[in-house]
Amino acid sequence: MARIAVLPPAVADQIAAGEVVERPSSALKELVENALDAGATSIDVAIEDGGRALIRVSDDGSGMERDDAVLALSRHATSKIRSAADLVGVASFGFRGEALPAICSVSQLAIETAPADGAGTAIRAAGGAIAEVGDVARRRGTTISVSRLFYNAPARQKFLKGARSEWRSIMEALTAVALTRRDVRLTVTHDGKPVLALPVAASLRDRVAALWGADAADRLLDVEDVQGAIQVSGLVERPSDVGTASRRTFLTVNGRPIRDAGLLRAADAAYRSTLAAGLRPSVLLEIVVPAASVDVNVHPAKAEVRFRDRWPVERAVEAAVRRALGTFDAGAAFGARRWSVGTSWQPSAATADVELLRAPPASADGLFDDRAEMSTVEPGDADAPLPAATTETAASAGSELVVPPLLQLRRTYMLFEHDDGVVLIDQHSAHERVLYERFLGTLERGEAPSQRLLFPLTLHLAPPESEAFEANRDMLERLGFEVEGFGGHTLLVHAVPMPHPRFDAERCLRDTLAALAGDREATAHARHERLAATVACKAAIKAGDELSPGEMRALFIALGDTRLPAHDVHGRSTIVQLSWPELERRFGRQ
């Protein structure tokens, strides 16, 4: 008896449909993408019972002639490709062939369509078979109605979830379309009630505001970067706002919405040393790569792509997000978010786009160095001498650099006036950021100078702290600690780093070893980051330390030279901005 048989066409069609149409949202996604490929500028979506009863998509696209409309319900019929070569770098959504026959095989389907200069056609079909073809009066475009999804496949139908769950999945699919195609007007109704009415949006930020509100859009930073042939743009969440709302993620590659855990991990990696453990930021990124370097024909639902070389793409994503987090606008703010960058103390057009005083670090002798002092001058004096630490930057920029007048508040915050408002800097968080990046560079590129002690320090440690010392001994020596064992769990400290005159070496070393006890970071870089962050936290100046004007200036300049000046290593803001409009509103001037 023969054991192999050719399946009947109806069964084969239902199996093929299972690859594309998993649930109502899958069918909706295919219909909307077909509308976009037809050149639609306006799409209206109507859903009933979470898509289980009805999915209707109407567009103003190119429409179809009668012969094309009938042929579109045949398997392997497509307007998108003509040969296998067309699959490479395909730009349309329907690269696998039209989804209409797959959807039709498991539903009752109706099509009304008309080209710009032709008669309208109406088609009724069910279970993959055309039942009726006739005329209809309508404007250019296409309306497709899908009802009773999986009516003829009870095994598939029973796995549909409730109306609310299916509706959430539909909204996720529509949100991805709305974010991707901001040039298209989109309206959505559910059970006859309006849900979305999105006009054409000029930018991704405008579309985010229309979808989730202005507050959500205000929490996001602009990303715009080019690495070779790879372009990364979009929006990412400001670190100070992460955790205040649910995480949202959105990725496109060459205009195609995708899922890609590797790209999201790369974006998350850019937040290292700016967020507390366990927090995950919202990320909305659009990536453009050469068409030949990505294969989009790898997933039945077109939700994934394959890169010819993934590493450069992930590296470009991480670099782009990290650059966005390093801007002045990344700091926390009250009131308006959109700040110009440093124009009040960088008056030359040549330096107008420089980020928050991009100056070299303070001298190797320490953060607060007498050479950073300025003679007393009045603000705005054009002949004011520059701190030694900023002379090189000013010369290279081709313009004079003025350090704004700084005021210390409660021996904890530094305050200065900006064109767009008032800026406060947390002195401990700022110094922690400066030291972290300096220590991390030392651990990965060289050794720091140290100061030999006249009398060695004796440290008696608990066993876990002694183990932490042995595990991190080489790295501590690189940072400038010279330590030897003195029997048991006792250490003798002969030399220490000197990041600033108030540095308490004994307390820093004790607190660092206590914090590192039991630590088990996997990679060398992770261990470097962990140690640098811990030592920086313990070594930084504290709230309550009174700073001289010269010390404040030196800290301000050094902070401006860090890669991520707006946040310390724990994710707290170093900079908080209070806009003039917000102040005026508080005082009743607006």
Angle between the N-to-C axes of helices 463-479 and 427-445, in degrees from 0 to 180, rounded to the nearest 10 = 80
Give the range of the structural domain holding residue 175, as residue numbers without chain letter: 9-81+89-198
Q: How many CA atoms lie within 13 A of 183 on its CB side?
A: 5
Q: Are 17 and 135 members of one domain?
A: yes
Torsion over CA: 434, 438, 443, 447 (sign): negative
CATH for 361: 3.30.1540.20
Q: Are 174 and 57 members of one domain?
A: yes
Percent of the chain exceeding pLDDT 90 equals 61
446-490 pLDDT, tens digit per residue, is: 888 899 999 999 999 999 999 999 999 999 999 999 999 888 889
Domains: count for the chain: 4
Rounded-to-integer distance, Cα 414 and Cα 18, Å: 62
Q: Are 300 and 239 members of one domain?
A: yes
Q: Are 483 and 551 members of one domain?
A: no
CATH for 291: 3.30.230.10
74 assigned to some structural domain: yes
The token duo for 113 is 């369509």
Q: Are 116 and 139 members of one domain?
A: yes
Q: Are 317 and 371 members of one domain?
A: no
Neighbours of 460 (CB within 10 A): 12
Q: Single out the residue of 136, 142, 119 nearest to residue 60, CA to CA.
A: 142
Distance of CA 41 to the CA centre of its chain: 28
Neighbours of 74 (CB within 10 A): 15
The token duo for 166 is 């299916």
320 assigned to some structural domain: yes
Q: Single out the residue of 260, 60, 303 nearest to residue 169, CA to CA.
A: 303
100 assigned to some structural domain: yes
Q: Are 194 and 208 members of one domain?
A: no
Rounded-to-integer distance, Cα 490 and Cα 477, Å: 17
Q: Are 17 and 132 members of one domain?
A: yes
Rounded-to-integer distance, Cα 416 and Cα 403, Å: 10
Parallel/antiparallel/unpaired status of strands 306-307 and 294-295:
antiparallel
Assess contact for 319 and 564: CB atoms under 8 A: no
Provide φ and ψ at 18, rounded to 5°: -65, -25
The token duo for 212 is 């989730």
Amino acid in position 14: Q
Q: Are 48 and 164 members of one domain?
A: yes
Assess contact for 295 and 253: CB atoms under 8 A: no
The token duo for 538 is 């313990």
Neighbours of 202 (CB within 10 A): 10
Q: Which residues pair with 42 in a beta bridge?
A: 185
Sequence-ordered list of residues with C-beta below 8 angstroms from that of 589, at least 6 positions apart, any chain? none
Which DSSP helix (H) or strand (E) runs through 277? none
DSSP notation for 360-414: PPPPTT-SS-GGG------TT-TTPPPPHHHHHHHHHHTS---PPP-EEETTTEE
Rounded-to-integer distance, Cα 22 and Cα 479, Å: 57
pLDDT for 9: 63
The residue from 270, 292, 325 where one domain ends is 325
Parallel/antiparallel/unpaired status of strands 413-418 and 421-426:
antiparallel
From first to last of its 590 residues, what are the pLDDT tens digits of the chain?
A: 567 656 566 655 555 555 568 899 999 999 999 999 999 999 999 999 999 999 999 999 999 999 999 998 987 666 555 455 555 555 555 533 468 888 999 999 999 999 998 899 999 999 989 999 999 999 999 999 999 999 998 888 888 999 999 999 999 999 999 999 999 999 999 999 999 999 999 999 999 999 999 999 989 999 999 999 999 999 999 998 898 778 999 999 999 999 999 999 999 999 988 988 788 999 999 999 999 899 876 665 567 889 999 999 999 999 999 999 998 788 888 765 554 443 333 322 222 232 333 333 333 334 444 333 332 233 333 333 323 333 333 333 333 445 889 999 999 999 999 888 899 999 999 999 999 999 999 998 888 889 999 999 999 999 999 999 999 999 999 999 999 988 888 999 999 998 888 899 999 999 999 988 887 776 888 889 989 999 999 999 999 999 999 999 999 999 999 999 999 988 888 999 898 988 999 999 98
Q: Are 419 and 560 members of one domain?
A: yes
13-35 pLDDT, tens digit per residue, is: 555 555 568 899 999 999 999 99
Rounded-to-integer distance, Cα 323 and Cα 341, Å: 14
The residue from 325, 359, 375 where one domain ends is 325
Rounded-to-integer distance, Cα 270 and Cα 266, Å: 7
CATH for 186: 3.30.565.10
Q: Are 110 and 151 members of one domain?
A: yes
436 assigned to some structural domain: no
Assess contact for 552 and 374: CB atoms under 8 A: no
3-state secondary structure labels for all residues of 327-350: CHHHCEEECCCCCCCCCCCCCCHH
Cα Rg for the chain, rounded, in angstroms?
31
448 assigned to some structural domain: no
276-309 pLDDT, tens digit per residue, is: 878 899 999 999 999 989 987 666 556 788 999 9
Q: Are 178 and 69 members of one domain?
A: yes
Give residue for tokens 């080489």: 474
Q: Which residues pair with 145 in a beta bridge?
A: 56, 110
